[in-house]
């Protein structure tokens, strides 16, 4: 396209923004009820003159021929063949505001074209037809086309016939580069590497494309890609969603879905096992896991809510999801009244409701990280063939960890010696004044004594205390806080706290009362605050204590994932915990410190009496156990072998230098357990005494009317004769070959995945309010073919992606943009922005950071701040997932569908790109373009880190700038840059080199982002300059687009 | 952002022209595109759905500030004074008043339901003699600005459904929040900041308070570009705002210019209009990186202004600090600003918790209203001081126990409005002698939604978005009415 065409393109953009695609009907031709008339009547008339008896006006029903034509005392609403005699036409055409239909207060009006369609329809005989989607699809012979050379398969004949009728031609085939990028994202959700692109471009075998298709379909990433769509529909998440939004464990189900797609389980079986896996004869664990599909609904344990109401809501969500994800019907519309548009009575709604109303789930459940019932434990369905390699890696890592380089250990010892020597240097402790104490769940049971001691008299079940303190008025920097716990006669055995812990060897439980501090946070401000200010939390660098149990070390308070700190029970007198801040506090500027101290969950592991001291100078404590301290303080020559060994072990287990290895080891060990052990997952079952189902008046749980048994809506085919009256029967019904909806809905969703929009655009609504399909015969052909193939998903996808239709270029010329802005006619290839997950995954892959393991528990990669705690019940609830804890090591680089999905605050870098919050069934994501997306791609640690990792790979990819730039660009866009582009890239590189050459520290700062190791061999200036160019490539519009 | 405005704006961006400069004379392109823009502007108002061509009629207010008091403040103690209540203090609720309506699981098992009169005195204030608790001494001074609705009601009696209902018009998840609707309907009125901004603060009454959820400022079924953007203290007031370490503004500017140029080259090649909006989005992101820090830097506020908001204005992320930011956001024409202040859930120890909680909001709220008034902003801003339900007149827990509190009460509660569109210094609606049932002019939360939209020039009944076959509305499927009785006369 030459430059002069550009303004015309802008004109086309305007059109694109203005118009949706409207099927064009030639004037004077035969009006078709389903295509032309029903949408008008449904949108404008049926709400008052349709199926819903309760809201019907004037006792007139227009959705059925007989009633529309019935005599109304000398006249009829519709007189077939005679619009002039039809009351409908008289009212529609009327200018009289009191007569005109639809009435003014409905805020609806018919366009002149719509009126003319109605008139024509009546004049042509007012022929009604059953709604197309309720009639089983037929596999018509694909139409004949003029250009027989273009079609590659049946799909193309349907598409081309329509194009030819419109006087349009299909576009040319996309370039090899465009094809492999498109196919790779569509089949695996990942981009092809530069090498894969080049190999495909060079592959001159006639079936190179088909081979590529087969390769992608066989990729384990195929299952991940397909699962993503289904996880949206199934509203899969890792938390319960309502209220406190505590954690749950459903990843076994998610992995079942991935596996099902990879194994190409027939779609009918896929549905049956998810709807009724627990009811199948000789059911397997995998089938029971599958039944978790309808347990993905949100649940609550908000105290005060009414269990019956909650259960009714859960079940309504199941029916809604079943409707939208499986049947393509907005069943939820009939919860309170008959459906306004579709032939579905409220009674029939509750017949479907009855199928799911028999579980043994309870109305308030799922607290403290324990799955809501019913759940069971099983092993993952994913293959464990990784296990031997994992075991090998684990033993290697362990060995490596336990045999550190002597120099490393020496260095650490030196550091420890230095730290021990510095211990207590200039130490001065000042009591802090206690201004106030509060705890979220009680107004009493705690007190302040003499402005100095916090006294706990009665600990509740959930125990976080916020203590507002005034720091001493010293001009010395406050380096930390020491909390001193005093024994008290009122505590059991004259101990420090209310609780007891079994001794580590389990020989006894001490009768001396003790406590556990699980977490500590603090903020300092110029004004006092009752509670710790989450926006100003001080980083704590070090925790030490006067003594500790081996299983409750002081650093346990720094990471809420560990058990916390508890003193040695044998110790007498006061004990203390000292927290050293990363940055000291200036008590002149911010004299008010608020500390939150969390004590052991499962009270009463709470302390009785404690005070706070402000620390200045160096803490005199150490996190080294006494025996280790003794060894370290000895001259090296005096250390015995066993002592050296002990040092090495301690170094391996606790030194900062070994943390990366320890994290890696822990991640691998967890991975091995994931593949070999059993884990809990939520499932469906049948209660011993199933709940009875009633019609609920206006959907109100407290207003039951008629008792209802399970059954299928009358407008759809009857249940199979031998179908049991339970979920298994329901499952058998929907997968019966003559079911008009199931297969259409499924193929349409696949089409949407590949083309950006379904053949029927309203993917969740095949009812009367749904849009008329762009290619109805194609939809039906595919649906029947799908069933005939044995519901074979891979072969359906293969059929579509090998069509000429799919293989067209997405480049659009002016005429096409103007004629068909949203590409409903498919005269060009599909183009859309990548889904959120693919954008992150693509960057991880190009940068080489991606860890492409399949499945397992969800992970918490980088997220700014602690967005969870800001809105959660942290400190006030035993629920899990109340404070964000970032993972480390390989868990930072897993594919995005494994990112932990907390429903009340889903990952912000995914939400920015339209990822749903998974609260409810989603079968179509929006695709917006916002400034927040730019901020994510430019500034999120995940992406900045990826830019420096991609830069490393670019530098390695060639020995000159041009080669490196080409390679990097191709990694990001799946094509080599043009010369013009290369010039811009090279200039940018030069500029960045120049810039960083003058500011080395800036280069270092940029490269320090992210936790992955940097190749220290690379000169920082050069590396940083390439990183900026890499970042630019990752931010190209094309990089987040699939053309 | 309104597509017309959006498009027009993008056409005038410096980088758009500079990006295309390599291929076309900037001036010629500029005028060609301006013409296209006019054409588009004319055409968009004729769009079939019409829902974006808002307002429907001349608005009173251009902006909304919602001060959301999360978890249900006690209307009994703070606003809905009944002189008769003292004489019933400690006596069992009359069965005729209590009726058979449902209670939450927290009190439904109680053996007794003794009446608890307001635990603090109050006074009549302002020209109309509006009663307010002495826990709100500063708010008492703005009584003449307030339009207090004492007859709000909701069906929900627990937090999650109730707060979701109040903010999205539905008790179940999946629906768009008020701010998202307004963003969708009216679009943005400024160039450099999001259309809808939400801020959260923690309350001193109860900490942590009940959990809240991003769905309360989410976009639900609306496009996610309408969701509320969180504003927080710290280096990244908007998530991901800060450039990475070792990156300068100039460097970023250069990168964006290159990026725009590369994007244009490819967009021309492929005929990809989406890339144009993406370039525009990057430009706005760049501007936000300057405009947001300017917004949150309050060093240009006078000491007198700062002092008026109270000492906590110096406390990052506090309600007071957020109130000041709210004023700055409104000054910058952010369309919908919403504060969520947690901690009003006084089931326990109300005697201890409520004074603390009131102290959080009293002075800042009053100062904010005065500040808005003084700067003329109240003339086109509607302020809504709302909550999800009220609290019971009877005690939760034993009367006299320091742990005593009040349970949730959806049957009636109080909210107030201020600013343009509503009558100042008025009280609307009435509850019975026990602040338990409404006896006059009930206002459902749907009616409140309809009224807010009305003040913005939007007819709630015509303000729809097609979703799952329905014309979804903020006011839902049940009837909703604009509360005519509180509207300011034109």
For B320-359, how does the pLDDT look when each residue is reduced to its tens digit (9 = 90+)? Answer: 999 999 999 999 999 999 999 999 999 988 998 999 999 9
Q: Which B residues in the span 74-103 are in contact with A, Cβ-Cβ below 8 Å?
A: 102
Within 8 A of B202 by CB-CB distance, chain A residues are: 531, 533-534
Question: What's the confidence (pLDDT) of residue A561?
Answer: 66
Q: B459 to chain A: nearest residue by CA?
A: A107
The reply to whether B287 falls in a domain is: no
Tokens of B79: 């606003």
Please determine, for residue A503, whether its predicted confidence score (pLDDT) is greater than 80.
no
CB contact under 8 A, A928 and B225: yes
Q: Which A residues in the span 883-922 are in contact with B, Cβ-Cβ below 8 Å?
A: 903-906, 908-909, 911-912, 914, 917, 919-920
Nearest CA of chain A to the CA of B28: how many Å?
10
The reply to whether B458 falls in a domain is: yes
The reply to whether B263 falls in a domain is: no
The minimal CB distance from B229 to the residues A932, A1005, A1006 is found for A932
Whether the CB of A6 is below 8 Å from some CB of chain B: the reply is yes
Q: A761 to chain B: nearest residue by CA?
A: B468
Whether the CB of A9 is below 8 Å from some CB of chain B: the reply is yes
Q: Taking the CB of residue B420, how many other CB atoms lie within 10 A of it? A: 19
**Total domains, chain B:** 1
Q: Which B residues in the span 268-307 are in contact with A, Cβ-Cβ below 8 Å?
A: 268-282, 284-286, 288-289
SS3 of A436, please?
A: strand
Give the residue numbers spanning the domain of B477. Answer: 54-233+316-486
User: pLDDT digits over B306-320, tens only?
Assistant: 999 999 999 999 999
Q: What average pLDDT score do residues A394-398 get?
A: 97
Please determine, for residue B34, whether its predicted confidence score (pLDDT) is greater than 60.
no
CA distance A961 to A144: 53
Question: What's the confidence (pLDDT) of residue B52?
Answer: 57
CA distance A228 to A239: 17
Question: What's the confidence (pLDDT) of residue B23?
Answer: 33
Whether the CB of A438 is below 8 Å from some CB of chain B: the reply is yes
User: pLDDT digits over A282-320, tens only?
Assistant: 999 999 999 999 999 999 999 899 999 999 999 999 999
Task: Please give the mean pLDDT across all residues of chain A.
Answer: 93
CA distance A351 to A354: 5
Within 8 A of A873 by CB-CB distance, chain B residues are: 208, 210-211
User: pLDDT digits over A146-199, tens only?
Assistant: 999 999 999 999 999 999 999 999 999 999 999 999 999 999 999 999 999 999
Nearest CA of chain A to the CA of B427: how many Å?
31
Q: Taking the CB of residue A54, how many other CB atoms lie within 10 A of it? A: 10
Nearest CA of chain B to the CA of A532: how many Å?
9
Least confident segment among A597-606, A654-663, A1031-1040 = A597-606
In this structure, are residues A590 and A451 in contact, taking their beta carbons and an 8 Å threshold? no
The reply to whether B343 falls in a domain is: yes
Whether the CB of B132 is below 8 Å from some CB of chain A: the reply is no
Tokens of B163: 């707060």
Per-position DSSP letters for A946-994, written without gaps between them: HHHHHHHHHHHH-SSHHHHHHHHHHHHHSSPPPHHHHHHHHHHHHHHHH
Task: Please name every residue paired with A614 in a beta bridge, in sequence order, or none if there are none.
Answer: A430, A481
Question: What's the confidence (pLDDT) of residue A510?
Answer: 65
CA distance A813 to A9: 8
Task: Please name every residue paired with A612 in a beta bridge, in sequence order, or none if there are none.
Answer: A483
Tokens of B148: 């207090």
Nearest CA of chain A to the CA of B219: how many Å?
10
Whether the CB of B479 is below 8 Å from some CB of chain A: the reply is no
A573: phi > 0 → left, psi -120 to 50 → alpha, else beta; which? left
Cα torsion A253, A255, A256, A261: sign? positive
User: pLDDT digits over B102-144, tens only?
Assistant: 899 999 999 999 999 999 999 999 999 999 999 999 999 999 9
Whether the CB of A548 is below 8 Å from some CB of chain B: the reply is no
Least confident segment among A581-585, A609-613, B195-199, B346-350 = B346-350
Three-state DSSP string of A487-518: CCCCCHHHCCECECCECCCCCCECCCCECCEE
List all residues 6 or more positions away from A56 whose beta carbon is below 8 Å from its beta carbon.
A48, A49, A50
Per-position DSSP letters for B18-61, written without gaps between them: HHHTTTS-HHHHHHHHHHHHHHHHHHHTT-SS-TTS--SS--S-
The reply to whether B407 falls in a domain is: yes
Within 8 A of A5 by CB-CB distance, chain B residues are: 268
Nearest to A212 by CA among A189, A187, A239: A187
User: pLDDT digits over A328-372, tens only?
Assistant: 999 999 999 999 999 999 999 999 999 999 999 999 999 999 999
Nearest CA of chain A to the CA of B85: how many Å?
25
Within 8 A of A536 by CB-CB distance, chain B residues are: 233, 316-317
The reply to whether B432 falls in a domain is: yes
Within 8 A of B243 by CB-CB distance, chain A residues are: 938-939
CB contact under 8 A, B276 and A13: yes
User: pLDDT digits over A1-20, tens only?
Assistant: 343 333 343 444 444 333 33
User: pLDDT digits over B380-432, tens only?
Assistant: 999 999 999 999 999 999 998 888 999 999 999 999 999 989 999 999 999 99
CB contact under 8 A, B274 and A833: yes
DSSP code of residue A86:
B
CA distance A101 to B178: 32
CB contact under 8 A, B24 and A980: no
- Predicted confidence band of residue A727 (pLDDT cuts 50, 70, 90): very high
Q: What average pLDDT score do residues A901-919 get?
A: 97
Q: Which B residues in the span 357-396 are in contact with A, Cβ-Cβ below 8 Å?
A: none
Within 8 A of B102 by CB-CB distance, chain A residues are: 306, 702
Characterize the bridge pairing of strands B443-444 and B336-341.
unpaired
Question: What's the confidence (pLDDT) of residue B50?
Answer: 28
CA distance A1026 to A808: 35
Question: What's the confidence (pLDDT) of residue B4?
Answer: 36
Whole-structure pTM value = 0.93
The reply to whether B290 falls in a domain is: no
* Interface with chain B: mutation pick from A241, A597, A935, A1020, highest number of B CBs within 10 Å: A935
Question: What's the confidence (pLDDT) of residue A562?
Answer: 67
- Predicted confidence band of residue A506 (pLDDT cuts 50, 70, 90): low
* Interface with chain B: mutation pick from A2, A14, A538, highest number of B CBs within 10 Å: A14
B240: phi > 0 → left, psi -120 to 50 → alpha, else beta; which? left
CB contact under 8 A, B106 and A812: no
Within 8 A of B208 by CB-CB distance, chain A residues are: 440, 872-876
Whether the CB of B20 is below 8 Å from some CB of chain A: the reply is yes
Question: What's the confidence (pLDDT) of residue B33?
Answer: 38
User: pLDDT digits over A96-132, tens only?
Assistant: 988 999 998 888 889 999 999 999 999 999 999 999 9
Q: What average pLDDT score do residues A649-672 get?
A: 95
Task: Please give the mean pLDDT across all residues of chain B.
Answer: 89
Query: For position B388, which CATH number holds?
Result: 3.40.720
Question: What's the confidence (pLDDT) of residue A499?
Answer: 87
Domains (ranges, CATH) in chain A? Answer: 33-128 (no CATH), 222-379+678-739 (no CATH), 424-621 (2.60.120)
Report residue A629 CA to chain centroid gap.
47
Up-side HSE of residue B239: CA atoms within 13 Å toward CB?
24
Question: What's the confidence (pLDDT) of residue A388?
Answer: 97
Please determine, for residue A505, whether its predicted confidence score (pLDDT) is greater than 70.
no
% of chain A surpassing 70 pLDDT: 96
User: How many pairs of residues across A and B have Cβ atoms under 8 Å apart?
Assistant: 348
Question: What's the confidence (pLDDT) of residue A334?
Answer: 95
User: pLDDT digits over A405-454, tens only?
Assistant: 999 999 999 999 999 999 999 999 999 999 999 887 777 889 999 999 99
Whether the CB of A103 is below 8 Å from some CB of chain B: the reply is no
Question: What's the confidence (pLDDT) of residue A55?
Answer: 85
Question: What's the confidence (pLDDT) of residue B53?
Answer: 58
Peptide bond into A102 cis (omega under 30): yes
User: pLDDT digits over B456-467, tens only?
Assistant: 999 999 999 999
Question: What's the confidence (pLDDT) of residue A507?
Answer: 59
């Amino acid at each position: 396209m030459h430059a002069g065409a550009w303004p015309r393109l802008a004109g086309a953009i305007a059109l694109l923004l203005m118009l949706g695609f409207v099927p064009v009907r030639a004037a004077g031709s035969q009006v078709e009820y389903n295509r032309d008339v029903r949408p008008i009547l449904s949108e404008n008339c049926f709400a008052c003159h349709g199926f819903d008896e309760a809201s019907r006006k004037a006792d007139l029903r227009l959705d059925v021929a007989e009633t529309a034509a019935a005599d109304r005392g000398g006249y009829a609403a519709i007189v077939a063949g005679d619009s002039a005699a039809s009351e409908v036409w008289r009212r529609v055409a009327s200018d009289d505001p009191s007569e005109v239909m639809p009435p003014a207060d409905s805020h609806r009006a018919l366009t002149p074209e719509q009126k003319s369609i109605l008139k024509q329809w009546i004049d042509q005989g007012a022929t009604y037809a059953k709604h197309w989607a309720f009639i089983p699809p037929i596999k018509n012979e694909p139409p004949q086309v003029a250009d027989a050379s273009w079609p590659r398969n049946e799909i193309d004949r349907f598409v081309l016939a329509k194009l030819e009728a419109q006087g349009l031609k299909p576009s040319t085939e996309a370039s090899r580069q465009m094809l492999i990028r498109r196919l790779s994202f569509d089949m695996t959700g990942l981009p092809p590497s530069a090498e894969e692109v080049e190999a495909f471009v060079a592959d001159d075998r006639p079936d190179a494309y088909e081979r590529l298709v087969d390769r992608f379909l066989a990729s384990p990433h195929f299952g991940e890609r397909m699962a993503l769509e289904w996880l949206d529909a199934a509203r899969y998440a890792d938390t319960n969603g309502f209220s406190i939004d505590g954690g749950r464990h459903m990843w076994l189900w998610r992995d079942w879905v991935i596996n099902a797609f990879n194994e190409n389980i027939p779609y009918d079986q896929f549905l049956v096992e998810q709807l009724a896996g627990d009811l199948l004869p000789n059911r397997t664990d995998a089938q029971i896991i599958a039944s978790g599909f309808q347990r993905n609904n949100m649940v609550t344990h908000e105290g005060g809510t009414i269990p019956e109401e909650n259960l009714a809501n859960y079940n309504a969500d199941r029916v809604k999801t079943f409707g939208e994800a499986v049947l393509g019907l907005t069943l939820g519309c009939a919860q309170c009244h008959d459906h306004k548009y579709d032939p579905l009575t409220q009674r029939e709604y509750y017949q479907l409701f009855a199928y799911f109303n028999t579980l043994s789930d309870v109305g308030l459940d799922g607290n403290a990280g324990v799955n809501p019932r019913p759940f069971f434990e099983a092993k993952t369905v994913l293959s464990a063939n990784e296990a031997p390699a994992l075991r090998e890696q684990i033993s290697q890592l362990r060995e490596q960890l336990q045999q550190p380089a002597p120099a490393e250990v020496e260095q650490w010892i030196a550091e420890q010696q230095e730290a021990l020597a510095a211990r207590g240097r200039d130490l001065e402790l000042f009591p802090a004044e206690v201004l106030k104490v509060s705890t979220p769940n009680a107004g009493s049971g705690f007190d302040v004594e003499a402005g100095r001691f916090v006294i706990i008299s009665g600990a509740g079940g959930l125990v976080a205390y916020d203590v507002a303190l005034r720091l001493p008025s010293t001009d010395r920097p406050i380096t930390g806080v020491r909390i001193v716990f005093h024994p008290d006669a009122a505590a059991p055995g004259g101990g420090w706290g209310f609780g007891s812990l079994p001794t580590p060897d389990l020989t006894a439980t001490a009768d001396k009362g003790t406590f556990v501090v699980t977490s500590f946070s603090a903020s300092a401000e110029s004004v006092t605050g009752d509670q710790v200010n989450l926006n100003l939390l001080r980083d704590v660098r070090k925790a030490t204590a006067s003594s500790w149990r081996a299983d409750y070390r002081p650093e346990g308070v720094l990471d809420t994932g560990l058990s916390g700190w508890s003193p040695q029970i044998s110790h007498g007198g006061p004990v203390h915990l000292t927290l050293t801040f990363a940055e000291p506090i200036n008590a002149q500027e911010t004299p008010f410190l608020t500390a939150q101290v969390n004590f052991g969950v499962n009270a009463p592991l709470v302390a009785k009496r404690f005070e706070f001291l402000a620390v200045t100078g160096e803490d005199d404590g150490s996190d080294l156990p006494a025996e280790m301290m003794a060894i370290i303080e000895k001259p090296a020559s005096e250390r015995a072998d066993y002592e050296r060994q002990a040092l090495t072990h301690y170094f391996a287990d606790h030194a900062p230098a070994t943390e990366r290895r320890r994290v890696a080891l822990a991640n691998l060990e967890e991975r091995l357990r994931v593949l070999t052990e059993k884990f809990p997952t939520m499932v469906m079952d049948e209660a011993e005494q199933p709940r009875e189902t009633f019609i609920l008046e206006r959907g109100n749980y407290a207003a039951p009317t008629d008792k209802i048994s399970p059954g299928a809506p009358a407008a759809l085919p009857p249940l199979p004769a031998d179908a049991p009256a339970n979920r298994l029967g329901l499952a058998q019904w929907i997968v019966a070959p003559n079911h008009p909806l199931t297969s259409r809905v499924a193929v349409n969703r696949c089409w949407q995945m590949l083309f950006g929009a379904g053949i029927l655009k309203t993917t969740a609504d095949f009812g009367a309010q749904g849009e008329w399909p762009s290619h109805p015969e194609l939809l039906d052909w595919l649906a029947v073919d799908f069933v005939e193939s044995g519901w074979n998903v891979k072969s359906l996808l293969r059929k579509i992606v090998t069509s000429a239709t799919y293989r067209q270029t997405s480049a659009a010329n002016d005429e096409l943009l103007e004629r068909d802005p949203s590409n409903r006619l498919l005269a060009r290839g599909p183009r859309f922005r990548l889904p959120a997950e693919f954008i992150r995954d693509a960057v991880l892959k190009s940068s080489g950071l991606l860890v492409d393991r399949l499945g397992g528990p969800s992970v918490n990669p980088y997220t700014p701040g602690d967005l969870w705690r800001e809105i959660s019940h942290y400190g006030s609830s035993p629920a899990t997932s109340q404070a964000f804890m970032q993972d480390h090591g390989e868990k930072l680089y897993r594919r995005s569908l494994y990112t932990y999905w907390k429903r009340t605050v889903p990952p912000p870098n995914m939400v920015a790109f339209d990822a749903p919050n998974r609260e409810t069934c989603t079968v179509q994501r929006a695709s917006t373009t916002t400034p927040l997306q730019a901020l994510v791609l430019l500034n999120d640690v995940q992406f900045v880190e990826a830019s420096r990792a991609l830069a490393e790979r670019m530098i390695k990819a060639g020995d000159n700038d041009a080669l490196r730039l080409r390679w990097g660009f191709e990694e990001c866009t799946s094509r080599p840059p043009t010369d013009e582009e290369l010039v811009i890239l090279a200039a940018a590189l030069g500029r960045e080199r120049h810039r960083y050459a003058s500011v080395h520290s800036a280069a270092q700062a940029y490269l320090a982002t992210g936790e992955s190791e940097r190749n220290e061999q690379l000169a920082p200036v050069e590396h940083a300059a390439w990183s900026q160019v890499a970042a630019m490539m990752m931010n190209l519009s094309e990089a987040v687009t699939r053309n | 952002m309104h597509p017309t405005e959006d498009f027009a704006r993008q056409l005038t961006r410096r980088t758009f022209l500079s990006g295309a400069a390599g291929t076309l004379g900037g001036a010629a392109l500029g005028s060609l595109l301006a013409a296209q823009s006019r054409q588009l502007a004319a055409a968009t108002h004729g769009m079939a759905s019409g829902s974006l061509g808002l307002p429907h009629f001349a608005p009173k207010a251009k902006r909304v500030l919602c001060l959301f008091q999360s978890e249900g403040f006690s209307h009994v103690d703070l606003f809905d004074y009944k002189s008769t209540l003292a004489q019933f203090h400690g006596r069992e609720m009359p069965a005729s008043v209590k009726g058979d309506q449902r209670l939450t699981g927290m009190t439904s098992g109680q053996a007794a339901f003794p009446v608890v009169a307001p635990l603090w005195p109050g006074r009549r204030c302002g020209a109309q003699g509006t009663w307010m608790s002495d826990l709100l001494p500063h708010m008492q001074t703005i009584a003449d600005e307030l339009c207090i609705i004492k007859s709000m009601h909701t069906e929900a009696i627990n937090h999650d459904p109730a707060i979701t209902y109040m903010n999205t018009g539905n008790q179940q998840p999946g629906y768009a929040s008020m701010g998202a609707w307004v963003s969708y309907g009216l679009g943005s009125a400024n160039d450099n900041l999001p259309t809808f901004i939400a801020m959260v603060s923690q309350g001193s009454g109860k900490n942590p308070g009940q959990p809240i959820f991003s769905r309360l400022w989410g976009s639900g079924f609306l496009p996610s570009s309408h969701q509320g953007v969180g504003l927080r203290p710290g280096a990244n007031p908007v998530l991901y705002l800060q450039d990475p370490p070792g990156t300068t503004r100039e460097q970023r500017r250069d990168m964006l210019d290159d990026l725009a140029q590369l994007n244009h080259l490819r967009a021309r090649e492929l005929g990809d209009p989406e890339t144009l909006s993406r370039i525009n989005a990057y430009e706005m992101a760049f501007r936000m990186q300057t405009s947001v820090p300017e917004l949150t830097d309050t060093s240009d506020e006078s000491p007198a202004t700062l002092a008026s908001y109270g000492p906590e204005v110096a406390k990052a992320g506090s309600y007071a600090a957020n109130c000041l930011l709210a004023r700055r956001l409104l000054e910058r024409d952010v369309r919908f600003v919403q504060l969520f202040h947690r901690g009003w859930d006084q089931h326990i120890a109300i005697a201890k918790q409520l004074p603390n909680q009131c102290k959080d909001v009293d002075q800042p709220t009053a100062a904010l209203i005065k500040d808005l008034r003084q700067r003329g902003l109240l003339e086109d801003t509607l302020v809504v001081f709302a909550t999800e339900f009220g609290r019971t007149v009877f005690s939760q827990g034993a009367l006299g126990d320091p742990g005593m509190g009040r349970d949730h009460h959806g049957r009636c509660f109080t909210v107030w409005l201020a600013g343009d569109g509503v009558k100042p210094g008025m009280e609307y609606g009435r509850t019975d002698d026990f602040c338990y049932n409404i006896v006059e002019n009930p206002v459902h939360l749907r009616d409140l939604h309809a009224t807010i939209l009305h003040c913005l020039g939007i007819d709630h009944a015509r303000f729809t978005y097609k979703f799952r076959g329905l014309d979804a509305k903020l006011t839902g499927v049940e009837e909703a009415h604009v509360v005519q009785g509180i509207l300011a006369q034109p």
